[in-house]
Chains A and B, each alone.
Chain A
Amino acid sequence: MARSAWMSWLVIVTIAVSLSILGGFWLVVQDLRTVSHQVGAKVPIAVFLSDDADPKGVELAIRELPDIESVKLITKEQAWKEMQQDMRSRMTFDTLLDANPLPNTFSVQTKSPDATPAVAERIAKLQGVEDIQYGADLLKKLSEFSGFIRAAGLVISGILGVASLAIIMNTIRLAVMARRREIEIMHLVGASNAFIAWPFLLEGMLFGLFGAMLTGAALVSWRYFTFAKWQELFPFVPMQLDFVSTAQVLTYLTVIGMGLGAVGSALSVRKHIRHAMAD
């Protein structure tokens, strides 16, 4: 009994480790997506106009595009003044230049961050637009990073998942062996295979459930810890402790864990109930 309790713990902890790593990566990917959205939503498209362009005309053209939230004109005089103020302590502009080198600029905010690249591209083609700038590079990097994390997470979790499966199968095999006599008698008095296998499947699923519960405890505490880190990394992104998405991920992990347990014990029972019969 003590031996089997120890075995059960081993199985549960193994499942929990696998699920925690899967869940950890999953949450990081989700956070990165949130950050991308926030960044995308925050960073407007800066549209620089050529000097001979008519700001009014360009503004109208921009407003005709889809997914535009707001268009704000920053005239070259405004921009010049702001810049001079910003840099007053460092240099004197009055003597350096006699003409304002800055262009008229529009700050364009899109309705959704997803729309930003498409909108930016169309604005760039408008007459009188010299150049545009938006957080494309940052967004691209974030998305690449997120893809990498996701791939790494899937590979590592996949390997650990197979390991968990093997340990579940072995534990259920021992359980079947320990109850070999009972199984034999069940068969002889006419119990169906489903009737015999059911308790073992349940055992496997319980392993998965308990594993998922441990994972839940680990991930929620980890969430508290990483939240602070995220804020340090992306101070300009207002983040909230998102327990809804954590709960969602945990639900999926519970389903995956119980599925893993059921599949492991089904494979094991299928193989070993026949053996128990043959003896």
Chain B
Amino acid sequence: MISIRQVTKVYPNGVRALSGLNLEVKQGEFVFIVGPSGAGKSTLMKLLYRAEVPTAGGVVISGVDIGKLSMRNLPKLRQRIGVVFQDYKLLNDRSVYENVAFALKIIGTAKAEMHHRVRSSLDLVGLRDFADALPGELSGGQQQRVCLARAIVNTPPLLIADEPTGNLDPETSWEIMRLLTKINLHGTTVVVATHNKLVVDNMRRRVLTIDGGKLVQDQARGVYSVGVH
């Protein structure tokens, strides 16, 4: 599903975020990416949905080297990858329903089909009754669930979550993780970058540890075990 080969990313300001990173993620896997701040987690996530392009090496998703993708084909990639952000990235002047429907509207989904999919997506994240609410009226956990609903509404094969629980309390974090697991069970490959030791240690999933821009540990049923953390 994901194959990262010898990827180096140097930002224009000279910061070397990743150097010669290699990793593989199989279809249907649930993977945590952990590591201290500045280890390169966020950069790796951005490379996956191509908010950044690698300075060297290849990021291959489903057989396509997305670093070489033309601007014209970029939307097609993004439509096949659901992304969950730490800061939710919701439109605050649109209802929950409209925020979720947004991802379908841009690919020209028919109204009836859209309605059906948005409903089931909101059902999955438990926000059926909040369809008409504005994001500002929701708690952080609820907003993150809206973001999740939007990410999965067009059933992408890959879901990427960058610090999805970064702004949430432990209980709410568990709720989000439970949902990510549920989505994974439906066959979606899930990659989660996180700082949340508690969550990682209790989930016993594959854990990839990144430090200094390199993969330093790959545990099949791992725990969060970097440095002082």
Contact = CB atoms under 8 A, between A and B. Distances in A.
Contact of A182 (B51, B71, B80, B91): B91
Contacts of A187: 78
A188 B89 contact: yes
A189 B71 contact: no
A162 interface: no
Interface in B71-95: 71, 75-81, 83, 89-91
Contacts of B81: 190
Interface residues of A, number: 13
Interface in A151-200: 181-182, 184-193, 195
B79 A190 contact: yes
Most central of B83, B102, B106, B107 by chain A CB within 10 Å: B106
B103 A190 contact: yes
- Most chain B CB within 10 A, of A184, A189, A191, is at A189
Contacts of A188: 49, 51, 78, 83, 89
Contact of A190 (B77, B89, B90, B91): B77
B91 A191 contact: no
Given A181-B91, A182-B91, A184-B89, A190 B71 contact: no
Contact of B75 (A181, A182, A184, A190): A190
A interface, by DSSP: helix, strand, loop or mixed?
helix
A180 to B, nearest CB: 12
A192 B91 contact: no
Contacts of A195: 75, 106
Given A191-B75, A192-B75, A186 B89 contact: no
Interface residues of B, number: 19
A140 B46 CA distance: 72
B150 interface: yes
A189 B76 CA distance: 10
Interface in A81-126: none
B163 to A, nearest CB: 15
B89 A185 contact: yes
Contact of A191 (B77, B83, B106): B106
Contacts of B75: 190-193, 195
B78 A190 contact: yes
A108 to B, nearest CB: 68
Given A185-B102, A188-B49, 14 more contacts: A181-B91, A184-B89, A188-B51, A188-B78, A189-B79, A189-B83, A189-B102, A190-B79, A190-B81, A190-B106, A190-B107, A192-B75, A193-B75, A195-B106
Interface of B: 49, 51, 71, 75-81, 83, 89-91, 102-103, 106-107, 150
26 contacts: A181-B89, A181-B91, A185-B89, A185-B90, A185-B91, A186-B102, A186-B106, A187-B78, A188-B49, A188-B51, A188-B78, A188-B83, A189-B79, A189-B83, A189-B102, A189-B103, A189-B106, A190-B75, A190-B77, A190-B78, A190-B81, A190-B106, A191-B75, A191-B106, A193-B75, A195-B106
